[in-house]
Amino acid sequence: DIQMTQSPSALSASVGDRVTITCRASQSISNWLAWYQQKPGKAPKLLMYEASRLESGVPSRFSGSGSGTEFTLTISSLQPDDFATYYCHHYDTYSWTFGQGTKVEIK
C-alpha cells in the first residue's frame, strides 16, 4: 500500500505569512493528489485536486504543486480563516489514503 507522509505535523504562522506544507508518497503517484482543509468540528473541505487544480470557490492564495512522490500546498498570504488542519489524500485503484495532517496555528 502507498503511504502518505506530511510535514510538518504542525506549524505556527502569522497572518500574511507564506506557508508551505509538504506531502510525500511512498512511491510515485503521478499527480493524483488532493488537499483538504478541516476546521474544528467540521467536515473536511476539498481545496485542490490533481495536485494543482483549485476546487471551485477556493481562494487563489491556495496553490498546489508536485508530481511523483513530493507535493506541496502553499498559502501565499495566510488569512485568519486559514488556521485549520490540512490533509493530503491519494486515491489509487480502489484504495484511498490520507496523510496524517498538518495543523496550522496562530503564532
- Considering the rule CB under 8 A, would residue 50 count as an interface residue with other proteins? yes
**Residue 18 identity (one-letter amino acid):** R
- Considering the rule CB under 8 A, would residue 53 count as an interface residue with other proteins? yes
CA–CA separation, 67 and 63 (whole Å): 14
- Considering the rule CB under 8 A, would residue 81 count as an interface residue with other proteins? no
Q: How far is the CB of 16 from other proteins (least distance, A)?
A: 28
User: What is the grid cell recorded at 60?
Assistant: 487563489
- Considering the rule CB under 8 A, would residue 36 count as an interface residue with other proteins? yes
**By C-beta, is 17 or 46 nearer to other proteins?**
46
- Considering the rule CB under 8 A, would residue 91 count as an interface residue with other proteins? yes
CA–CA separation, 86 and 62 (whole Å): 12
The dihedral of CA 81, 52, 69, 34: what is its sign? positive
